[in-house]
Structure 1
Amino acid sequence: MLEMIQILDESALLWIQDAVRVPFLDPLVEAFTSLGNTGVMWIVLSLGMLCWKPTRRAGGIALLAMALGMLCTNVVLKQLVLRPRPYVMVEGLIPLLTSADPNSFPSGHTCAAFAAGMAWAGALPWRWARTAAVIQAVCMGLSRLYVGVHYPSDVLAGALIGSLCALCALWLAARSRERRRV
């Protein structure tokens, strides 16, 4: 089963490299994916949300979700799985970027994007903002594939973990709100 996933992962990355990459998009995707380094984009946005009452709850929930996601991905799973980056393993794959972290599974950028994005989607009062939150998360996951630093299964796992962390943070926030009402 794992061999089949590896074959599918490698084939997908080589297809993205050969059929999807276009030179004029490369610097844009590289810049976008770099915004996710250390989670800075989502942390800054969430901290900014804490300053405005209509978004305060969403900002706090997103920070909690990202902290949970970071613990799950970077502290625990990456250290247990130790999956090498695809550009080290896949013959013919030319990465647009490399990473100081040699471990690929799961995608920390994607986890943070989905943790923040799904938290915002569950807590922001405007439909357009909820939609944008989910779109940015999907774009981050796709950017990690585009630049060749993650396998599709890394990105899917990161999206799942980030979404679950957002659900946990939303649940904890709802419980906290209920307790304050009593």
Structure 2
Amino acid sequence: MALIQNFDIFILLYIKNHMYGHMMDKVMIIVTSLGNLGAVWIVISILLIINKKYRNVGFMVLVALILSTVLGEGILKHVVQRIRPSADIPAVKLLISKPLSYSFPSGHAASSFAAAGILAKYLKNYAVEFFGLAALIAFSRLYLYVHYPTDVLAGIILGLICSKMTIYFFNRLSQKQQSLCRKGD
């Protein structure tokens, strides 16, 4: 565990020493706010739900967001109970208000990759943009010193698993509906 903790701190200090700047501070605060409560992904899902052609994709995004929140924020954070880097390394001045929950896994990364995984599968022409936004939101959590790199990595993995589980669930549901329709004919 000490090796992982040292690696995490090394990465955070590298970001702090090589990437910090007044303009980046402002950009990262805006980027991270897009991920607050999954806001940007909820807006995208609502826009998709409004459009009949993409309604199912919008619902899938919402389910993936809920699943990642329940597993990450509701279960894993309370099991692992990892404190945030800002508590471990108090010399760093936070640019945003200190999050109240535990650090592992990153909820921003989990929700962003859960949504991006769904969106990239069904809106392939925008896959790079969806994953790019998700990665930027995840990186903002490191930049802002509210997560360790392994928190973010775990959030990414959790989010992608949630997107796969949601796709599987919706595919199974669709197959059952088609089977029932055929039996009814």
Q: How high is the TM-score relative to the length of structure 2?
A: 0.91
Asked if 2 retains the 8 angstrom alpha-carbon contact of 1:68 and 1:165, the reply is: yes
Q: Is the 8 A contact 1:50 1:56 kept in 2?
A: yes
**CA distance, structure 2, for counterparts of residue 36 and residue 147 of structure 1:** 13
Supply the AA of the counterpart residue of 1:147. Answer: L
Structure 1: give runs of 5+ residues left out of the alignment. none
Residue 172 of structure 2 corresponds to 175
Structure possessing the higher radius of gyration over alpha carbons = 2
Q: Distance in 2 between matches of 1:99 and 1:128?
A: 37
Matched, 1:138 2:135: yes
Paired residue for 1:79?
Answer: 78
User: Is residue 15 of structure 2 the alignment partner of residue 13 of structure 1?
Assistant: no
- Alignment of 1:159 with 2:156, yes or no, is yes
On the 8 A contact 1:122/1:170 being kept in 2, the answer is no
Q: Percent of counterpart pairs with the same letter?
A: 32
Q: Residue deviations 1:91-117, cap 9 Å, x none?
A: 543332233324111000110100111
CA distance in 1, matches of 2:165, 2:46: 19
CA contact (8 A) 1:17 1:93 kept: no
| Deviation readout 1:9-61 (Å, 9 max, x if unpaired) | 01110110110122112111101101211122211211221011232122111
Which of the two has greater helix per residue? 2
The question of whether the paired residues in 2 share the 8 Å contact of 1:98 and 1:149 is answered with no
What is the letter of the counterpart of residue 66 of structure 2? A
Contact conserved, 2:38 with 2:111, CA < 8 A, in 1?
yes
